[in-house]
Amino acid sequence: MSSTTSSFPERIELAGEGLVLRDWTEADLTAMPELFDHPDIAYWTPIVSPFDQAAARARLDRNREMRAQGTAVLLAITVDGGAVLGEVMLRRAPEGMEIGYAVGPAHRGQGLAVRAVRVMAAYAFEQEGAEQVILELEAENAASVAVATKAGFELLDVPLITGEEKGRPFTLQTWGLNRP
Protein backbone atom coordinates (compact mmCIF):
# COMPACT_ATOMS: atom_id res chain seq x y z
CA MET A 1 0.00 0.00 0.00
CA SER A 2 1.41 3.38 -0.92
CA SER A 3 1.77 6.06 1.70
CA THR A 4 -0.80 8.21 -0.13
CA THR A 5 -3.54 5.56 -0.10
CA SER A 6 -5.40 5.07 3.14
CA SER A 7 -6.83 1.69 3.93
CA PHE A 8 -10.48 0.80 4.16
CA PRO A 9 -11.78 -0.42 7.52
CA GLU A 10 -11.27 -4.11 8.20
CA ARG A 11 -15.05 -4.59 8.54
CA ILE A 12 -17.79 -2.60 6.85
CA GLU A 13 -21.55 -2.90 7.15
CA LEU A 14 -23.74 -0.18 5.68
CA ALA A 15 -27.50 0.03 6.18
CA GLY A 16 -29.93 2.23 4.32
CA GLU A 17 -32.56 2.32 1.58
CA GLY A 18 -33.94 -1.01 2.86
CA LEU A 19 -30.58 -2.74 2.32
CA VAL A 20 -27.67 -4.03 4.32
CA LEU A 21 -24.37 -3.94 2.45
CA ARG A 22 -21.94 -6.24 4.21
CA ASP A 23 -18.61 -7.95 3.80
CA TRP A 24 -18.51 -11.13 1.77
CA THR A 25 -17.94 -14.24 3.91
CA GLU A 26 -16.79 -17.79 3.34
CA ALA A 27 -20.44 -18.85 3.67
CA ASP A 28 -21.29 -16.75 0.58
CA LEU A 29 -19.00 -18.73 -1.74
CA THR A 30 -21.75 -21.18 -2.73
CA ALA A 31 -24.12 -18.34 -3.71
CA MET A 32 -21.63 -16.48 -5.91
CA PRO A 33 -21.94 -18.64 -9.07
CA GLU A 34 -25.74 -18.22 -9.10
CA LEU A 35 -25.24 -14.45 -8.96
CA PHE A 36 -22.32 -14.03 -11.35
CA ASP A 37 -22.47 -16.91 -13.86
CA HIS A 38 -24.85 -15.23 -16.28
CA PRO A 39 -24.48 -13.97 -19.88
CA ASP A 40 -25.39 -10.35 -18.94
CA ILE A 41 -22.74 -10.21 -16.23
CA ALA A 42 -20.20 -11.89 -18.51
CA TYR A 43 -20.93 -9.34 -21.26
CA TRP A 44 -21.15 -6.06 -19.33
CA THR A 45 -18.59 -6.61 -16.55
CA PRO A 46 -15.00 -7.79 -16.20
CA ILE A 47 -16.17 -10.64 -13.92
CA VAL A 48 -14.76 -13.94 -15.22
CA SER A 49 -16.97 -16.30 -17.18
CA PRO A 50 -17.84 -19.05 -16.68
CA PHE A 51 -18.10 -18.30 -12.97
CA ASP A 52 -17.78 -21.44 -10.86
CA GLN A 53 -16.68 -22.31 -7.31
CA ALA A 54 -13.00 -21.80 -8.18
CA ALA A 55 -13.85 -18.34 -9.58
CA ALA A 56 -15.83 -17.60 -6.40
CA ARG A 57 -12.83 -18.48 -4.21
CA ALA A 58 -10.48 -16.39 -6.38
CA ARG A 59 -12.91 -13.43 -6.29
CA LEU A 60 -13.26 -13.53 -2.50
CA ASP A 61 -9.47 -13.73 -2.10
CA ARG A 62 -8.94 -10.86 -4.56
CA ASN A 63 -11.60 -8.75 -2.80
CA ARG A 64 -9.70 -9.18 0.45
CA GLU A 65 -6.39 -8.27 -1.21
CA MET A 66 -7.81 -5.09 -2.74
CA ARG A 67 -9.24 -4.00 0.60
CA ALA A 68 -5.94 -4.66 2.36
CA GLN A 69 -4.15 -2.61 -0.34
CA GLY A 70 -6.65 0.22 0.11
CA THR A 71 -7.72 0.14 -3.56
CA ALA A 72 -11.27 -1.21 -3.37
CA VAL A 73 -13.96 -2.58 -1.14
CA LEU A 74 -16.63 -4.97 -2.44
CA LEU A 75 -19.74 -5.57 -0.38
CA ALA A 76 -22.54 -8.09 -0.67
CA ILE A 77 -25.97 -6.57 -1.33
CA THR A 78 -28.59 -8.00 1.06
CA VAL A 79 -31.90 -6.83 2.45
CA ASP A 80 -31.24 -8.04 5.99
CA GLY A 81 -27.59 -9.05 6.24
CA GLY A 82 -28.41 -12.60 5.12
CA ALA A 83 -28.85 -13.94 1.59
CA VAL A 84 -26.72 -12.22 -1.04
CA LEU A 85 -28.54 -10.62 -3.98
CA GLY A 86 -25.62 -8.88 -5.68
CA GLU A 87 -22.47 -6.86 -5.12
CA VAL A 88 -21.46 -3.20 -4.94
CA MET A 89 -17.90 -1.91 -5.17
CA LEU A 90 -16.12 1.29 -4.22
CA ARG A 91 -12.73 1.69 -5.89
CA ARG A 92 -10.09 4.35 -5.55
CA ALA A 93 -9.11 5.15 -9.12
CA PRO A 94 -7.03 7.90 -10.74
CA GLU A 95 -10.33 9.39 -11.96
CA GLY A 96 -11.75 9.45 -8.42
CA MET A 97 -13.94 7.20 -6.30
CA GLU A 98 -15.68 4.75 -8.64
CA ILE A 99 -18.72 2.63 -7.85
CA GLY A 100 -19.53 -0.62 -9.64
CA TYR A 101 -22.29 -3.16 -9.10
CA ALA A 102 -23.81 -6.41 -10.25
CA VAL A 103 -27.18 -7.86 -9.26
CA GLY A 104 -27.98 -11.54 -9.67
CA PRO A 105 -30.49 -12.22 -12.47
CA ALA A 106 -33.11 -13.63 -10.07
CA HIS A 107 -33.06 -10.40 -8.04
CA ARG A 108 -33.36 -7.75 -10.74
CA GLY A 109 -36.27 -5.34 -11.07
CA GLN A 110 -36.35 -4.49 -7.34
CA GLY A 111 -34.22 -1.34 -7.45
CA LEU A 112 -31.37 -3.09 -5.65
CA ALA A 113 -28.59 -1.58 -7.78
CA VAL A 114 -29.97 1.97 -7.49
CA ARG A 115 -30.33 1.69 -3.73
CA ALA A 116 -26.93 0.02 -3.26
CA VAL A 117 -25.24 2.72 -5.36
CA ARG A 118 -26.88 5.47 -3.27
CA VAL A 119 -25.80 3.82 0.00
CA MET A 120 -22.24 3.32 -1.26
CA ALA A 121 -22.09 6.91 -2.55
CA ALA A 122 -23.19 8.18 0.87
CA TYR A 123 -20.39 6.13 2.45
CA ALA A 124 -17.86 7.56 -0.02
CA PHE A 125 -18.95 11.12 0.78
CA GLU A 126 -19.33 10.76 4.55
CA GLN A 127 -16.55 8.31 5.46
CA GLU A 128 -14.02 8.59 2.64
CA GLY A 129 -14.30 12.34 2.04
CA ALA A 130 -15.06 12.02 -1.68
CA GLU A 131 -16.19 15.18 -3.44
CA GLN A 132 -17.56 13.17 -6.37
CA VAL A 133 -18.24 9.51 -7.13
CA ILE A 134 -18.35 8.12 -10.63
CA LEU A 135 -19.84 5.25 -12.61
CA GLU A 136 -18.16 4.09 -15.80
CA LEU A 137 -20.59 2.29 -18.09
CA GLU A 138 -21.43 1.55 -21.70
CA ALA A 139 -24.17 3.70 -23.24
CA GLU A 140 -25.69 0.54 -24.75
CA ASN A 141 -26.18 -0.97 -21.29
CA ALA A 142 -29.71 0.39 -20.81
CA ALA A 143 -30.09 -1.14 -17.34
CA SER A 144 -26.94 0.59 -16.07
CA VAL A 145 -27.89 3.90 -17.67
CA ALA A 146 -31.23 3.61 -15.82
CA VAL A 147 -29.39 2.92 -12.55
CA ALA A 148 -27.16 5.97 -13.08
CA THR A 149 -30.07 8.33 -13.77
CA LYS A 150 -32.31 6.96 -11.00
CA ALA A 151 -29.43 7.27 -8.51
CA GLY A 152 -28.98 10.95 -9.44
CA PHE A 153 -25.80 10.68 -11.54
CA GLU A 154 -25.23 12.94 -14.54
CA LEU A 155 -23.25 12.18 -17.68
CA LEU A 156 -19.93 14.03 -17.44
CA ASP A 157 -18.29 15.88 -20.30
CA VAL A 158 -15.04 13.93 -20.16
CA PRO A 159 -13.28 11.75 -22.75
CA LEU A 160 -14.73 8.29 -23.37
CA ILE A 161 -12.76 5.32 -22.07
CA THR A 162 -12.03 2.67 -24.68
CA GLY A 163 -10.52 -0.74 -24.34
CA GLU A 164 -11.03 -4.43 -24.79
CA GLU A 165 -12.24 -6.99 -22.26
CA LYS A 166 -12.74 -10.71 -22.90
CA GLY A 167 -12.01 -10.13 -26.60
CA ARG A 168 -14.77 -7.51 -26.93
CA PRO A 169 -14.11 -3.81 -27.53
CA PHE A 170 -15.89 -1.40 -25.19
CA THR A 171 -16.46 2.33 -24.82
CA LEU A 172 -17.32 3.66 -21.38
CA GLN A 173 -19.05 6.89 -20.47
CA THR A 174 -18.34 8.50 -17.11
CA TRP A 175 -21.28 9.52 -14.95
CA GLY A 176 -20.78 11.59 -11.80
CA LEU A 177 -22.56 12.40 -8.57
CA ASN A 178 -21.25 15.31 -6.50
CA ARG A 179 -21.18 15.52 -2.73
CA PRO A 180 -24.57 16.84 -1.53
What confidence category does residue 7 fall into, taking pLDDT thresholds of 50, 70 and 90? confident
Say which amino acid occupies 160.
Answer: L
Integer Cα distance of 97 and 83 in angstroms: 27
pLDDT for position 3: 36
pTM of the model: 0.93
pLDDT for position 72: 96
For residue 130, count other CB atoms closer than 10 A to its CB: 21
At 108-150, the pLDDT tens digits run 999 999 999 999 999 999 999 999 999 999 999 999 999 999 9
Integer Cα distance of 95 and 73 in angstroms: 17
Orientation of helix 142-150 relative to helix 112-126, angle to 10°: 50
At 46-73, the pLDDT tens digits run 999 999 999 999 999 999 999 999 999 9
pLDDT for position 54: 96
